[in-house]
Structure 1
């Protein structure tokens, strides 16, 4: 399955979320940090709306973060194997949307 990596493209990322409501998103720091690889469901409000007073347009992929998106957890795990040797590729699973393994 295809994996999309959104860098400097909030519009493309937000469009992807609309087109893949049952997909998954990994929030990554722009400078890859294996201790910050956070998994979300594409429907999670924390990765699809700008929080009031805390962020502004460009905050998803145009400054400190990028997004790795896929329709399946397996495709994201496979992609992340290229970057980390962690036994669990995700450092954390979002406590709001609680994504589950397939």
Structure 2
């Protein structure tokens, strides 16, 4: 199952904490950045660091899943794009 987080910081951060083996796809709202959506391990610091904030309320939204294949399929279906894997955590 894939969950979309848009303007919902609290629910997103709860999901990341509850799913340390999950994956987070970060996508710019305008869907213009060629390397996005970028997928990260849920444990990657930039996905939940208190220093960053605005995970789902700024220029980005997140879609998350514990199933990487489901996340890839969601990205293809909804955005017509493949996921780009983070070179640091993936």
Q: Same fold judged by TM-score > 0.5?
A: yes
Cα distance in 2 for residues equivalent to 1:81 and 1:30: 16
Q: What's the secondary structure of 2:55's corresponding residue?
A: coil
> Does 2:37 align with 1:37?
yes
1:16-74: CA deviation from partner (whole Å, max 9, x where unpaired): 001111000000001223612111001111111033xxx4x4x1000100001001111
> RMSD of aligned C-alpha atoms?
1.5
Q: Which residue of 2 aligns with 1:95?
A: 87
* Count of aligned pairs between the two proteins: 88
Structure 1, unpaired ranges of 5+? none
Q: Which residue of 2 aligns with 1:6?
A: 5
Given the two structures, how large is their TM-score scaled by the length of structure 2?
0.87
Q: Kindly indicate which of the two structures has a greater share of residues assigned to helix.
A: 2
Stretches (4+) displaced over 6 A: none
Given the two structures, how large is their TM-score scaled by the length of structure 1?
0.78
Q: What's the secondary structure of 2:74's corresponding residue?
A: helix
Q: Which residue of 2 aligns with 1:47?
A: 47
